[in-house]
Chains A and B, each alone.
Chain A
Amino acid sequence: MTVADTRIEVAVEKRLGETRVAASFVAERGVTALFGPSGIGKTSILDMVAGLSRPDAGRIAVDGEIWFDAATGADLPPEARRVGYVFQDRRLFPHLDVRANLLFGRHRADAAAFDRVVALLGLERLLDRWPRRLSGGEAQRVAIGRALLSEPKLLLLDEPLSHLDRPRAAEILDLVARLRDELALPILYVTHEPAEIERLAARRIDL
């Protein structure tokens, strides 16, 4: 997990029905917040970075490696992009227990990294539980752990505090701050709450 600093260049646009989603920014180590009201297409931008949605135009490059380029038609599939995507709706696999969810990534972290992430996220007691038996905060921690353990080059967090009560939200926010400090991963963080951006000392990209 100790990769050299990563640099992500994103310049994309896409028409979704009546709205035109567009963003242009560079993200590096630390938290980069994509900020804006609901419905402006923040999630779509994460989807485009992850390769789940294809931009109409633009370019996405990570450390000089082209992930997408409308000009040349280059378009890496999601499985080749090495992003750790923590979805707003979590998307834990219901047929697998927490341990199997954490180990789902193809590029699996070694045992030491597994123990470190489990400890960092406080998942020790959850490993044998099923996703449906997790509270919102627990499920969110497992989703973050699953993303981290797939050895990503960057982390995508889509409104990670939504659906959580205040204490749980504060806990996850502290956790993101720790990830920012302890890992060399750039974090793209989608939110519509200025307070979260302040707390994370994030670079703010207005959409």
Chain B
Amino acid sequence: MALSPAEWTAVLLSLKVAAVATLATLPLAYAAAYALARGRFPGRWLLDVAVHLPLVLPPVVTGYLLLIAFGREGALGAALDAIGLSVMFRWTGAAIAAGVMALPLMVRAMRLSIEAVDRRLEEAARTLGHGPRATFLKVTLPLSLPGILAGAVLGFAKALGEFGATITFVSSIPGETQTLPLAIYGLLQTPGGEDAVVRLALVAVALSVGALLLSEWLTRRAARRLA
């Protein structure tokens, strides 16, 4: 039941891609969640739609859009090219695809917890001498921590399982962009790959269940603490 070196490579690559995707998306997702929960500005609905788009679009379309944006002709691709960077067919590209796909789930979890923060506590902080920024850091942010954690774990699980956008955007290169789901798919196309498929599928199940349980546990713990 031991994993082969190639299988280990896929598993570790998956963990790296998902971790980087989650951490890089976290601040962005929180900012979007905060704007959606609290902001009253024109174009708010547009932000709402943009954030949710990866959730409802076919992943292959999301991958295609990333391909256009980050290709040499694309605005983001040209900018990265100018500083000598490319994410095309690199693991960083896989992390971008995973992060984009994880974004809506992360924003939803965070938005709910920001909306649940009692604004009267923020008022109390203001009367105690703290300006809006300090009030955010000392009250709003810590009180929305359960949602940040839940969103991060959910996003991580989603990033770990991402398939369609990744394979469209950065293809499936062993050791570079071939994450766990891509490796499983590849093996399914290969005669005699069944045993490896079973092993990797079990790893995928274990990681996903683990992430869900962790998310549940973190949420409960935080809810108990803040009750």
Which A residues are closer than 8 A to B by beta carbons?
50-52, 77-79, 81-85, 87, 89, 91, 93-95, 104-107, 130, 132, 146-147, 150
Contacts and interface: CB of A to CB of B under 8 A. Distances in A.
6 contacts: A51-B127, A52-B126, A83-B127, A91-B118, A150-B127, A150-B129
Nearest to A78: B126
Chain A interface secondary structure, helix, strand, loop or mixed? Answer: loop
B184 to A, nearest CB: 42
B131 A79 contact: yes
Contacts of B134: 106
A91 B121 contact: yes
B142 A52 contact: no
Contacts of A87: 120, 124
B129 A85 contact: no
Bin chain B's interface residue count.
20 to 34
A96 B77 CA distance: 46
A110 B134 CA distance: 21
Contact of B139 (A52, A84, A93): A93
Contacts of A150: 127-129
Contact of B128 (A52, A94, A104): A104
Contacts of A91: 118, 120-121, 123-124
B227 A78 contact: no
Given A91-B121, A93-B121, A107 B227 contact: no
Nearest to B222: A95
B56 interface: no
Interface of B: 118, 120-121, 123-131, 134, 138-139, 142-143, 145, 225-227
A50 B127 contact: yes
B227 A132 contact: yes
A105 B128 contact: yes
Contact of B129 (A52, A89, A95, A106): A106
A82 B129 contact: yes
Contacts of A147: 128
Contacts of B128: 79, 104-106, 146-147, 150
Given A79-B127, A87-B120, 11 more contacts: A52-B123, A52-B126, A77-B126, A78-B127, A79-B128, A84-B127, A93-B121, A94-B143, A94-B225, A94-B227, A104-B128
B129 A79 contact: yes
B127 A106 contact: no
Contacts of B123: 52, 78, 91
A146 B125 CA distance: 11
Contacts of A79: 126-131
A87 B124 CA distance: 8
A95 B126 contact: no
Contacts of B121: 91, 93-94
A89 B123 CA distance: 12
Contacts of B127: 50-52, 78-79, 81, 83-85, 150
A52 B131 CA distance: 12
